[in-house]
Chains A and B, each alone.
Chain A
Amino acid sequence: MIKSISLGIALIISLAVSVVLVRAIDSRRIKTQPQFGDEPLYVSPTTAKHLSLAFNGLAADWYWMRSLQYVGGKIVSFEDTHTESFTLSDLDVHLLPSLLRMSTALDPKFLPPYEYGAMLLPELNSDEAIALVNSGIANNPSSWRLYQHLGYIYWRLGDYDKASATYAAGATLPGAPAWMAAMGARMKADGGSRDAAREMYRHLDESSNDKSVKEMVERQLMRLDDLDEREAIRNVLTGYKEKNGRCLASWRDIANELRALRLTVDASGAPLDPSSTPYELIKNGCDVGLDINTKVPFK
């Protein structure tokens, strides 16, 4: 009996010591993580495919999750040290193209990394994004979604002719929805319009199951709504200045006009942006800008 109790106590003490040790190890790991997190990939995708034997799918999953964790980790560490909103170029995610290339080389039929790359890479390196999606098309020639993503990259680059041609090429594939052909035509006619952009993001949202893509689309749709809203607010501000000969002192003075435009207004009369953060009066009340704490992307 005494022996059992002694063993039990020893077990609990040992367990407690091991917990303390793990915490000590974790605290050291947090300090060293950023340094190792950005370590380049020493194995080429071709070699990795050879070495993975029959487990290349599993290795592709590993690199895919690592891509997500890599970007997620960068966002978390940026948010820990900054208060303002960020763009991808602020995050220094230089390892992302290699991680995505590795994942797609290990499993060329795995579509989410191509999709993720098409959404994120154009901001960093559009050539890399185009190369990644083109390799996806070469490996999955019947996937119209990859044409949709390639069209999106060209649209972002402002190359509406190529975007239109890509959408049109994707539209000819079996199973491609009718709106692919319509998007091809629209890109040619008014590729630079906000309505075209809104339509494209809506289709991206509908055709993707990827949470990160959906989040990105949500942010971009917020940005488009913000541009529309700020344009409308600017018109009101211009009208106010013309009428009163001075710029606005307080949002309260035009709160009714803003409500008439179906804009959401807070208790102080300030209009709320699509992320429900109040807009800011800038240039001595002559213009409207985004608050630094907004979730709406600045570009």
Chain B
Amino acid sequence: MFSKPWAESTPVVSLDVATPQKISANSGFTTGRTVAIARNAFREAVRDRVLYNLVLFVLLLIAGAIFLGELSGGQEAKIIVDLGLSAMLLFGVFIAIFVGVGLVYKEIERRTLYAILSKPIGRGQFLVGKYLGLCLTLLVNVVVMGIGVSLALIYIKRGWNPLAIKIWPAILLIYLELTIMTAVALLFSTFSSPALSALLTFFVFLIGHFSGDLKELANTNSSAAARLLFRILYYLLPNLTTYSVITPAAHGIAPDAGSIGLAVAYAVVYSAVLLLAATMIFSGRNFK
């Protein structure tokens, strides 16, 4: 009964990552090992049919938005952008959560992790590799969905539509939000079960969109202790409102370069913090 998953997952990991030949080819280059794990994580995700179904569903939703736009009194383009980008964010978060929480857990459950960690691969490298692999998967998905939205906009205009380009900064910010959510999912998956990790990650997604309220509570609460608590939570939890630009994008309003630059920097730094925390927890775990 246990032989099948073992047999299924072993080639994915051992052929490309754990074989001595591959390791020696990458010897001396720690980034090479991380990239190899990322590539395998990407392949593993790509082989997952659920992923295709989700992407297909979003593309169908975008196609449906064209027809829904007929009911909007001439607001087809706005409906397509709002529905398309919202679906992209929501399903992207689902992918990040459900694939992200399984990245480490699956390797532990199938016991392939022992084979990987017996090679000269650090636990941090393993986690970063898995993270980058899923980020690459999400990038491909987001680009496919974004092209779908752009094509739908061109289709309804029966010609070139400037909105087809103007939505891409918003798509970039959605992608950055997804990379943060992936890091959150990965962090939880290092010490918790997949179900609990998924739940906790979804809560972080929700709270992350209420960060403005946390800040307001931190500024307006009468109790000093509560103010401190909310301030800590505000800085500790991801500030996802920065990445919520779908509504302005539907009006053709793109964030300025400075805001995008700060959003990119925040996503990189915050994800790095989460990955470091994940590595610390994962390094402390005893798999014997």
CB distance from A256 to the nearest CB of B (A): 44
Cβ contact within 8 Å between A54 and B209: yes
In the complex, the answer to whether A112 meets B75 with C-beta atoms within 8 Å is yes
Binding site for A on B (CB under 8 A): 68, 71-75, 78-79, 81-83, 86, 89-90, 206, 209-210, 213, 240-241, 243-244, 246-248, 250-251, 253
Please pick, from A57, A65, A211, the residue contacting B247 in the complex, using a CB distance under 8 A: A57
Q: Which residues of B contact A116 (CB under 8 A)?
A: 73
Evaluate whether A68 and B71 lie within 8 angstroms (CB atoms) in the complex, with A53-B209, A54-B209 already known.
yes
A64/B86 in contact, CB under 8 A: no
Verify A209–B72 contact, CB threshold 8 A: no
Name 29 A/B residue pairs within 8 A (Cβ), A-sorted.
A53-B209, A54-B86, A54-B89, A54-B243, A54-B244, A54-B246, A55-B82, A55-B89, A55-B90, A55-B246, A57-B78, A57-B246, A58-B82, A58-B83, A60-B82, A61-B72, A61-B78, A61-B83, A65-B72, A107-B250, A109-B247, A109-B251, A109-B253, A110-B251, A112-B73, A112-B74, A209-B74, A210-B74, A211-B74
A contacts, CB < 8 Å to B? 50, 53-58, 60-61, 64-65, 68-69, 107, 109-110, 112, 116, 209-212
The A interface, classified by DSSP as helix, strand, loop or mixed, is helix
Give the complex CA separation of A228 and B189 in angstroms. 76
How many angstroms between the C-alpha atoms of A116 and B74 in the bound complex? 12
User: For the complex, what is the distance from the CA of A24 to the CA of B158, rounded to whole Å?
Assistant: 40
A60 to chain B: which residues have CB within 8 Å?
82, 247
A210–B209 alpha-carbon span in the complex (Å): 33
A210 and B73 CA atoms in complex are apart in Å by: 6
CB neighbours of B89 from chain A (8 A)? 54-55
Distance A56 CA – B246 CA, assembled complex (angstroms):
9
Residues of B within 8 A of A210 (CB): 73-74
Q: Which residue of B lies closest to A66 (CB)?
A: B71
Contact B82 A54 (CB under 8 A): no
Docked-complex contact B213 and A50, CB < 8 angstroms: yes
Q: Which 4 A-B pairs have the closest CB atoms?
A: A57-B247, A54-B244, A57-B82, A53-B209
Q: Which residues of B contact A107 (CB under 8 A)?
A: 247, 250
**Roughly how many angstroms separate A240 CA and B251 CA in the complex, as a whole number?**
60
**Contact at B82–A65, with CB atoms within 8 Å?**
no
